[in-house]
Amino acid sequence: MSEQSSKVRGGLRRMYANQVNLDLERLWRRSVVMSMVVLLIAGGAWIFRGLNLGIEFEGGTFWEAPLGDHSIAEVREALATVGQADARIQELGGGVVRVRAEVAPGNTAEVAAVSAALAELGGISPNDISFSAVGPSWGAEITSKARLALVVFFIVIAVYIWLRMEWKMAVSALVAVGHDILVTVGFYALFGFEVTPATVIAFLTILGYSLYDTLVVFDKIRGNDRTRKEPYFEIVTRSVNEVFMRSINTTITSVLPVLSLLIIGRFALGAVTLQEFSIALLVGLLAGTYSSLFVASPLVAWLHVWVTGERPGQRQPSRERRPAAAAPRPRRAGSGPVGRSGVTTTRSHPARPAKKRRK
Amino acid sequence: MIGRLLSAWRTVTRDSPNSLDALLATVQRLLSGLRSNRSLVGIVVIAVGLLVGNLVTNQQPLLGLDLQGGVEVVLRPVPGETEITPEALEQALEIVRNRVDALGVAEPDITVQGGNIVVQLPGVDDQERAIALVGQTAELRFRPLLARAVSRAEIEAYKAALEESEEVDAPDEAGEQGELGVADLLEGTLTGSVDDDADSVVILPGRPDANGQVFHFLLGPALVTGAALESATPVLEFAQWNVQVTALEGAEGIDRFNGAARTCYYEAPDPAVCPTGQLGIVLDGVVESAPVVNARAFERDRINITGAFGEAEARDLALVLDYGALPLVFEDPAESGLVRTVSATLGRDALQAGLIAGIVGLGLVALYMLAYYRLLGAAALGSLVVSGVLLWVILSFLSETRGLALTLAGVTGLIVAIGVSLDSNVVYFEHLKEDVLGGRTLRSSVDQAFPVAFRTIFWANLATLIGAGILWLLTIGSVRGFAAMLAIASILDLVATYFFLRPVVRGLARWSAHRPALVGMAAVVAAAAADPAIPAGERPATGRARS
């Protein structure tokens, strides 16, 4: 027992010192199965359950009721009794309240139920309450433009990564981003959370975050690939181990505020939007970190193996772990070539011919 | 300066494998001339200065409709004028949305409610201008000028006389032509209406000139309408704001326009259609101007609408022309009392919950950073404060000038952005640890690790910026607002990292060179010292290193 706890402590200390050494080859084989299962569930939920689109996308019904002096919170409570807690409530002045809810105007029973609830709250006759259809505020044009923008976004980013790095990384990064979006959207479909414009923004935030996270890992792989003579697969596992703590820390710093939004939003009145918005962010942030380490990175390694035929098993004799330590000290600050990792500043071997672009 | 640039470029292109890297390295090299403590003082002074300026002018970010409410305009179509169909309402809604979007990045709420279009704008500064713009029909017509007079009575009398006789002297203002062959035009078309009917001869008022004088115009049926135009931009020419329009190509565009130009060319105007050689430009029933047509044919993109415009007027005119005419005629909302203020949809409690959650969350993040990275964590928090201040100033400025409004989603998005922006600090710190682990002293690690870490941060942020740019260019509505926020956050991240974090961490590393625990490096240094791969002479000289 105590031996185990000291082992854990030793592990934590090594993590703190950034000495992570995970057996990624084994982990990746498991993670790929897990990702596949999760993606299947997410995709299935999206296709078969569909998304619960909010009133902003689908329109609904609006009521205008002269309720007198009632706070928005009170109106929301009254609406909650007829299952419309997430209605959009607005005071129009003069004691008139406008309620917009996702109720089809043709659904007379539900429309009447909301009218009755409002009438009861205001102590007025349901006949004093007017209602009519309301169209979507997030129109088809916004959706179609956003869709076009996303397609262009993916193409340009793919070209950018291809130019900056290589095509295998472009493919892997896009797969990772797609993974995160699908997981988050699938999560929404599965649990039937309402999709509002805020949620769409959350999806976009995830997209940016996931891409950023993946690019940081890839930059590391590229840097190691340039300075180390090791099989590519080793380079990738080494890089992922090296950025592991950074990924954990970044995840913690991004997730803490979201978690606090989720918990405090849970207890705050009328913050339903806040809550569902933060769920999207939470799932997306976690998926984003996971995908850069366990989707994008193995994909790059495997694509490389597949394209070049260099198998992970065929390891060349591993080099001395830190050739740089014995090498002469680097030059004065700022005078050295920019872009070399500080760990291995000098090469004890001629530069390897570029093989990244081989197709 | 250029020589220095070139030599810097040459040095780095030799060292860097790819030209994009070379570009970044050039920038870094040039900036490295800036001493690091100066960049620190510089950014702190700039941030504080901007904050003071912000407090003095009392600018604040505007809150969105969901948090603060705003003003609501109900556009009620006038029955009888045009056929009111759901399609026409939908089309009008899109045009209104485009106009409101062009006003700024605020997030409006525009819906069809019942048979009306309801537009809600968050606390727009210039409400009247916004409302006027939202409801403006923007039907633009080019009509031949028949006559002009100071008083309406005079021009009506002239019109009446024309109907009776074919030979009437025009009022003095109408120009030199004593005889007009326009009577034919009037036959059957004169309905006595003063409305801006496209196919009739009409009397319309002009814009007040500099002296407040209003002319009245007798104008023939429209020769060209705004449908022939492709786009419009405001231009400043000789201290006078004009609107330059570009006609569409083809028969319905520039050909139609040039047809009108030929008819009205001042040296040989068609006396039956355009006796004065002047073409009146009419927008929503007001004659904006009546320029002399001085060419037989115009190039598609060389058409100017001149008038007594101020800058705002020219901009608004270009804007409504750009997005086309509304297919419906609406009641003037200001006159029919359909403008009112509306409350927030979420209200203060949600905002408060969001803010409290944000503060608690950021507090936890701060604790974590301090516990994990010690003084480096403090430096990261300092850089967060600097970029936070800059963000506040930028948001306030954009609220003031571009009508940007923060919705609840925007606020929470920013909180998340803060968490994410700490990432660039983490990337740097972990690079540092790695170098120390590799046997280097903390002091030399700082100088080596920063360029490497910054390169990573730069390229990752550039990808984000590209994405934000695409979203900004191609989308509308709240997606666009999101793109703006994303771009601002990315740029601030780079600025704060380079100008604040770099010098502060360098100073910290010097100061704590023999006390690695202060910067959370004790374990790393110990691990490096215990590593047999590093020869003893290379071990960092610290009191805590185990042997």
The pLDDT tens digits of the residues spanning B391-401 come to 999 988 888 77
pLDDT at B174: 41
| pLDDT tens for each residue of A325-358 | 444 444 444 333 433 344 443 444 555 555 544 4
Q: What is the DSSP letter of B61?
A: P
pLDDT at B215: 80
Query: For residue B349, which residues of chain A lie inside 8 Å, CB to CB?
Result: 73, 268-271
Q: Which of B360, B447, B475 is nearest residue A145 as measured by Cβ atoms?
A: B475
Cross-chain residue pair B357–A200, CB shorter than 8 Å = no
pLDDT at B348: 67
- Residues B121, B263, single domain; the answer is no
- Indicate if the pLDDT at residue A321 is higher than 70: no
| pLDDT tens for each residue of B126-174 | 666 677 777 666 677 888 888 877 777 777 777 777 666 555 444 444 4
- Residues B187, B316, single domain; the answer is yes
Q: Which of A152, A198, A257 is nearest residue B365 as measured by Cβ atoms?
A: A257
CA-wise closest residue to B144 among B322, B265, B22, B10: B265
Q: What distance in Å separates the CA atoms of residue B442 and residue B217, rounded to the nearest whole number? A: 82
CATH number at residue B112: 3.30.70.3400
Query: Greater confidence, A283 or B356?
Result: A283
Split into its structural domains, chain B has a count of 3
- Residues B406, B362, single domain; the answer is yes
DSSP H or E run through B119? strand B116-122
CATH number at residue B405: 1.20.1640.10
Residues 91-110 of A with CB under 8 A from B: 91-93, 98
**Of the residues B258, B288, B322, the one at which a domain ends:** B322
* CATH 3.30.70 for the A60-134 domain, yes or no: yes
**B295 Cβ contact partners less than 8 Å away, ≥ 6 residues apart:** B261, B265
| pLDDT tens for each residue of B299-320 | 777 777 777 677 777 777 777 7
Q: Which of B344, B427, B451 is nearest residue A216 as measured by Cβ atoms?
A: B427
Q: Do domains A20-53+139-308 and A60-134 have the same CATH topology?
A: no
* Contact (Cβ atoms closer than 8 angstroms) between residue B279 and residue B144: yes
Residue to substitute from A174, A254, A289, A344, interface B, most B β-carbons within 10 A = A254
Q: Is residue B1 part of a domain?
A: no
Q: Is A202 on the interface with B (CB under 8 A)?
A: yes
- Residues B384, B269, single domain; the answer is no
- What number is the average pLDDT over the span A146-164? 89
- Indicate if the pLDDT at residue B78 is higher than 60: yes
pLDDT at B195: 54
* Contact (Cβ atoms closer than 8 angstroms) between residue A161 and residue B463: yes
Q: What distance in Å separates the CA atoms of residue B254 and residue B249, rounded to the nearest whole number? A: 6
Q: Is residue B284 part of a domain?
A: yes
Cross-chain residue pair A92–B466, CB shorter than 8 Å = no
- Residues B198, B229, single domain; the answer is yes
Say which amino acid occupies B470: I
**Which residues make beta-bridge pairs with A93?**
A96
Cross-chain residue pair A270–B526, CB shorter than 8 Å = no
- The residue of chain B nearest to residue A198, with distances taken between CA atoms, is B409
Q: How confident is the model at residue B34 (pLDDT cuts 50, 70, 90)?
A: low
Cross-chain residue pair B12–A338, CB shorter than 8 Å = yes
Q: How many Å lie between the alpha carbon of B516 and the closest alpha carbon of chain A?
A: 12
Q: Which of B114, B422, B527 is nearest residue A19 as measured by Cβ atoms?
A: B527
- Residues B236, B354, single domain; the answer is no
Query: Greater confidence, B187 or B487?
Result: B487
- Residues B489, B509, single domain; the answer is yes
- Residues B101, B155, single domain; the answer is no
Q: How confident is the model at residue B539 (pLDDT cuts 50, 70, 90)?
A: very low
* Contact (Cβ atoms closer than 8 angstroms) between residue B278 and residue B215: no
Query: Greater confidence, A12 or B538?
Result: A12
Question: What token pair was written down for B33?
Answer: 């001339």
- Residues B496, B444, single domain; the answer is yes
- Residues B149, B292, single domain; the answer is yes
* Full residue range of the structural domain in which residue B122 is found: 70-133+337-342
Long-range contacts of A67-72 (CB under 8 A, 24+ apart): A67/A95, A67/A96, A67/A97, A67/A118, A67/A121, A67/A122, A67/A124, A68/A95, A68/A122, A68/A123, A69/A95, A70/A97, A70/A121, A70/A122, A72/A97, A72/A270, A72/B343, A72/B344, A72/B347
Q: What distance in Å separates the CA atoms of residue B438 and residue A245, rounded to the nearest whole number? A: 16
Q: What distance in Å separates the CA atoms of residue B255 and residue B405, rounded to the nearest whole number? A: 44
CATH number at residue B193: 3.30.1360.200
Query: For residue A249, which residues of chain B lie inside 8 Å, CB to CB?
Result: 372, 426, 430
Q: Which of A62-71, B292-301, B354-363 has the lowest mean pLDDT?
A: B292-301
Q: Which of A14, A137, A264 is nearest residue B109 as measured by Cβ atoms?
A: A137
* Contact (Cβ atoms closer than 8 angstroms) between residue B252 and residue B228: yes
| pLDDT tens for each residue of B440-481 | 888 888 888 888 889 888 988 888 888 888 888 887 777 777
Whole-number Cα distances in Å, B469 to A37, A216, B473: 35, 20, 6
- Residues B255, B378, single domain; the answer is no
Q: How many Å lie between the alpha carbon of B314 and the closest alpha carbon of chain A?
A: 28
Whole-number Cα distances in Å, A176 to A25, A105, A111, A190: 18, 41, 44, 21
Q: Is residue B285 part of a domain?
A: yes
Question: What token pair was written down for A309?
Answer: 């035929």
DSSP H or E run through B206? none
pLDDT at A346: 43
- Residues B199, B279, single domain; the answer is yes
Q: Where are the domains of chain A?
A: 20-53+139-308, 60-134
* Contact (Cβ atoms closer than 8 angstroms) between residue B538 and residue A326: yes
Q: How many Å lie between the alpha carbon of B114 and the closest alpha carbon of chain A?
A: 5
Q: Is B111 on the interface with A (CB under 8 A)?
A: yes
Domain made up of A20-53+139-308: CATH architecture: Up-down Bundle (1.20)
Residues 27-46 of A with CB under 8 A from B: none
Q: What distance in Å separates the CA atoms of residue B135 and residue B118, rounded to the nearest whole number? A: 11
